[in-house]
Chains A and B, each alone.
Chain A
Amino acid sequence: MHSKSKTFRGMLRRRFLQNLLAVPAAVMLANASLTAHADSANTTGLAVTDKTVTVGILHSVTGTMAISETGSVQAEKLAIEQINAMGGVLGRKIEYIQEDGASDWPTFAEKSKKLLIKDKAAAVFGCWTSASRKAVLPIFEQYNGMLYYPTFYEGLEQSPNVIYTGQEATQQILAGIDWVVKEKGAKSFFLLGSDYIWPRTSNKIARKHIDKLGLKVSGEEYYPLGHTQFNSVINKIKLKKPDVIFASVVGGSNVAFYKQLKAAGIDMTKEKPLVLTISVTEDEILGIGGENIEGAYASMKYFQSLTNDNNKNFVKAFKERWGDDIVIGDVTQAAYLGPWLWKAAVEKAGSFDIDKVRAASPGIELKTAPEGYVRIHENHHLWSKTRIGNAQADGQYKIVYETKDLIEPNPFPAGYQ
């Protein structure tokens, strides 16, 4: 599929152009500066020439994480191609160097070093797991690189060298819990997650919030990554009869959990108990099977079924580029934002210089974002809405709720630590 799409690239480019004409060209806000600063832009010590600028893409295309990260790579490549079709950044075409993190954190560190030192990448789009981000973070800070990180994550971090285009935990969780409490009258919660930092922090935040609302947590459980047997915990859930199962199980365990939940006679469409997940995007449903998770609710910022024009164009372009049967999840969309946010910041700064791009980043807004509208906060996270989707048998989410306003990112939430 890969090579095939490459052969058609010329044709596709033209099609992108047509698509992009339909996209409101809001990212053009720095159009005026486009040529004015072009001369000084080459002197940053980065891989910038008069014609091109080089960026890095750093994800796992092999190993266990390839399952999740494939979508992000596709989204980033699509964004870069679209930007190039629109004339590039500061008049320069974006060229990318793709490196494989191989699902191995030390490899991520090695490759990020290579991208920054050898390739002088002007920006790096990449990483997925918190562990890989933690591994590359000191390198980005030491060599002053710029990382656009797409995954929803646990927060507790704010680096000048990272723009977090996914949601941090409070953005994702609080709205979701508020919604099930208000709309579904939930009184008790069972917190279940894979055993690592993200589910643990997420559940900590969820627990504090549930306590604040005066409601009950009837259980909290963690299973090792890759665990495939959930019958015991399902029995426990049956015994405790919580109103809501709040699930942050990840990876292959997800598939096992939902299949076994269904087989144990818990019909999620009956919402007794209701399943609220923060980890299952459309990508994961592909592996779980829509019929096995039908009726569950997910709380995140993006669903493929969003009906705004930005998203329609995005989904169309994505399918044209990567095939019709592809699905787009929350992280994929967040990864797509990365190159656009970088472009906007570069154009605002009028330079590729990392320090200038960083200084220009807060306040950058993207009206063309598939999720609607996003803006970069002072703390390098994004203002975004949170939505609740109801999983359908066809593997898509039906959006049943979205927050009225953008939610402020708060990576160090007071009262939730």
Chain B
Amino acid sequence: MFADYSITELTSIFAMQGFAGLILFSVFVLMALGLAIIFGQMGVINMAHGEFMILGAYVTYLTSSLFAEYLPSVYGSYFFIAMIFAFIVTAALGALVEWSIIRHLYKRPLDTLLATWGLSLILQQLYRTVFGAREVGVTLPDWLMGSYALSDSIEIPINGLFVMGLTIFITVGVALMMQKSRLGKQTRAVVQNRPMAAAVGINTEKVDRMTFALGCGIAGIAGSAFTMIGSTGPTSGQLYIVDTFLVVVFGGASSLIGTVASAFTISQAQSTMEFFLSGSTAKVLTLLTVVGILMLRPQGLFSLKIRR
């Protein structure tokens, strides 16, 4: 298939393809990070994760409308504000959900799964009632939608660069927070031994709420960023949910490193196969490989050594 092309063409395509794989990797990490934090730290599977992401997207949409209306002069920079708003709003909703539903169900993790599924149904219909059944178009600042010409034939999408940068920023931020900050240390203490943590004066309920809010907030940021590459509609969250769960399950569901590693593996496999085979086949092969590996190693790539 490459006989007809010159060497320069091929190198530039491979460079761009490598980049496409990295973008996919960033997207996967961003999608899965929030879910992985909540599951890894709290053992709760948040089935409404996709809906939290779309909430972030809707917040971005509202912010962009606001800026277009009142602050057209600084429209180009609204996206950063929108992401901060998205984080705050989704984190607040997350805290509310934790307070009203999740905290009553910590002893029944399977039931949180059902309850958050119910929550996702409600949120979907809520978006439909409020924003209408149609997708909304989020207008992006022009500087985000272009591409950066590295050489004559290598063009890098700027929104891809942006997503990559954002992913690195958030991942490093989360890792630092978990290792260094007071909240991070408290969280780890609670995960490792809840009664002991409580005994030394850590407010475990507060830690739980903060962790859940943080996971939801990251989902909100992800949703906000994905307005650059995807659609914003009441059911758009469902588009991401399968990939998200696969990444988390494949990574072992409990460690951030596992999530990152699994996102990397899946994204590289998928993007390489998409290039050499056709799109649908690539997806099916990727999924089959993932399932095959899960059959041999159901605990995922990285897992905590716990005997059940």
When A and B assemble into the complex, do they touch directly, with CB atoms less than 8 Å apart? yes
B162 → A minimal CB distance (Å): 10
Is A371 an interface position by the 8 A CB rule? no
Q: Scoring B residues 118 to 140 as 1 if CB is less than 8 Å from chain A, else 0, what string do you get? A: 00000001001000111111111
Annotate B263-283 by CB proximity to A: 1 below 8 A, 0 otherwise. Answer: 000000011001100111011
Instruction: Please provide the chain A residues from 182 to 217 with a CB less than 8 Å away from any CB of chain B in the complex.
Output: 195
The residues in B between 25 and 46 inclusive whose CB is less than 8 angstroms from any CB of A are: 27
Asked if B300 is an interface residue, CB under 8 A from chain A, the answer is: no
Contact among A222, A223, A228, A264 with B147 in the assembled complex (CB-CB below 8 Å)? A264
Of A67, A239, A288, A290, which is within 8 A of B235 by CB?
A: A67
Q: Verify A256–B278 contact, CB threshold 8 A.
A: no
Check B274–A232 contact: CB distance below 8 A: yes
Within 8 A of B (CB), among A22-80: 61-64, 66-67, 70
Point out which of A195, A263, A292 has the most chain B C-beta atoms below 10 A from its C-beta: A263
**Cross-chain contact A228 with B230 (CB below 8 angstroms):** yes
Which residues of chain B have C-beta atoms less than 8 A from A287's C-beta? Answer: 134-137, 231-233
User: Which residues in B have their C-beta under 8 angstroms from that of A235?
Assistant: 13, 16-17, 20, 275
- B146 contacts A by Cβ under 8 Å: yes
Closest A residue to B228 by beta carbon equals A259
Residues of B within 8 A of A256 (CB): 229-231
- Residue A319 interfacial (CB < 8 Å): no
Are A265 and B278 interface neighbours, CB within 8 A? no
Interface string of A280-293 (1 = CB under 8 A from B): 00010111111110
Q: Report the bound CA distance from A63 to B121 in whole Å.
A: 10
Task: State A395–B136 Cα separation when bound (angstroms).
Answer: 12
**A20 in the interface, Cβ–Cβ < 8 Å?**
no
A221 to B20, CA, bound (A): 17
- Provide the residues of chain A in CB contact with B17, threshold 8 Å: 232, 235
On chain B, the residues within 8 Å of A262 by CB distance are: 145
CA–CA, A381 and B308, complex, Å: 62
Contact of A67 (CB < 8 Å), options: B9, B135, B240 = B135
Within 140-183 of B, Cβ neighbours of A (below 8 Å) are at 140, 145-147, 149, 155, 157-160
Can you list, as one digit per residue, whether each of A230-252 has a CB less than 8 Å from chain B (1) or not (0)? Answer: 01111110110000000000011
User: Which residues of B222-242 are within 8 A (CB) of A?
Assistant: 226, 228-236, 238-240
Q: Is B23 an interface residue (CB 8 A)?
A: yes
**A259 vs B135: C-alpha distance when bound (angstroms):** 14
Q: Which residues of A contact B147 (CB under 8 A)?
A: 263-265
Q: Which of A63, A64, A232, A288 contacts B137 (CB 8 A)?
A: A288
Q: What is the bound-complex CA distance between A291 and B157, given in angstroms?
A: 16
Whole-angstrom distance between the alpha carbons of A264 and B161 in the complex? 11
A291 CB contacts on chain B under 8 angstroms: 139, 145
Name the B residues within 8 Å of A66 (CB-CB). Answer: 128, 133, 234-235
* A308 interface hit (Cβ, 8 Å): no
B229 in contact with A228 (CB, 8 Å):
yes
Q: Is A87 an interface residue (CB 8 A)?
A: no
Known contacts A195-B279, A289-B139, A252 near B233 by CB under 8 Å: yes
B5 at the binding interface (Cβ < 8 Å):
yes
Q: Does B246 contact A (CB under 8 A)?
A: no
Rounded to whole Å, the gap between the CB of A358 and the closest CB of chain B is: 33
Q: Is the CB of B238 within 8 A of A226?
A: yes
Query: In the complex, A265→B149 CA distance in Å?
Result: 9
User: Which residue of B has the minimal Cβ distance to A229?
Assistant: B24
Docked-complex contact A67 and B233, CB < 8 angstroms: yes
**Set of chain B residues within 8 Å of A259, measured between Cβ atoms:** 145, 159, 228-230
The interface residues of chain B lying within 8 Å CB-to-CB of A228 are 226, 229-231, 239-240
A255 at the interface (CB under 8 A from B): yes
* Residue among B128, B236, B279 making CB contact with A227, cutoff 8 Å: B279
Q: Given A62-B125, A263-B228, are A232 and B239 neighbors across the interface (CB < 8 Å)?
A: no
Q: How far is the CB of B282 from chain A (nearest CB, A)?
A: 8
Measured between beta carbons, the chain A residues less than 8 angstroms from B23 are 229, 231
Q: A252-B233, A263-B157 are in contact. List 9 more A-B contacts (CB 8 A).
A: A64-B235, A67-B135, A228-B226, A231-B24, A239-B9, A252-B231, A259-B145, A265-B155, A287-B232
29 A-B pairs with C-beta separation under 8 A: A62-B128, A67-B134, A67-B135, A67-B234, A67-B235, A222-B279, A223-B283, A224-B279, A224-B280, A224-B283, A226-B238, A226-B239, A228-B230, A229-B24, A229-B27, A229-B271, A231-B271, A232-B282, A233-B274, A235-B13, A239-B5, A255-B230, A255-B231, A255-B232, A260-B229, A263-B158, A264-B157, A287-B233, A291-B139
Which residues of B does A touch, CB under 8 Å? 5, 9, 13, 16-17, 19-20, 23-24, 27, 125, 128, 132-140, 145-147, 149, 155, 157-160, 226, 228-236, 238-240, 270-271, 274-275, 278-280, 282-283
A residues apposed to B, CB below 8 Å = 61-64, 66-67, 70, 195, 220-224, 226-229, 231-236, 238-239, 251-252, 254-256, 259-260, 262-265, 283, 285-292, 395
